[in-house]
Amino acid sequence: MDNTKLIKTLYQAVDNKSLTALADFLADNVRFQIGNYAAITGKNAVLDANHSFFSSITSMAHQITSIWESGDDVLCNGHVDYTRLDGSGLSIPFATVLKIDADKIVDYQVYVDVSPL
């Protein structure tokens, strides 16, 4: 899969809150970090963290503005629309940097401020 398609398909899985689909993208030794939170290493730990986050919101929808590639590095930015559990909404910017190896994400860094959630 080319890296542009990978990003778009990855965010479809995230927006659908599908841990099964997300798992297909991740290397076993993936490193994941979102915002100022500590980095997490290992596919199962990353899936557990995403499960907790997915449970804290009703829904989300990422709108990707740009995608850049350089070798095995893929970057994207845009905004994400969240619906909180109380039904209120929040739209905030994000950027993601991925390191890809053999079509799997080995490093997954998300720059976003989720503190307003």
Look at the block and give the residue holding tokens 């599908």: 18
Look at the block and give the residue holding tokens 């959630």: 117
pTM: 0.93
Element (H, E) at 82: strand 73-84
What is the CATH number for 68?
A: 3.10.450.50
CB 82, CB 89: distance < 8 Å: yes
Per-residue pLDDT tens over the stretch 65-101: 999 999 999 999 999 999 999 999 999 999 999 999 9
In a domain, 117, yes or no: no
In a domain, 116, yes or no: no
Give the SS3 label for residue 97: strand
Enclosing domain of residue 57 = 3-111
Angle at the Cα of 93 from the Cα atoms of 50 and 1, rounded to 5 degrees: 60
- Residue 3: pLDDT band (50, 70, 90) is confident
Count of the separate structural domains present in the chain? 1
CB 111, CB 35: distance < 8 Å: yes
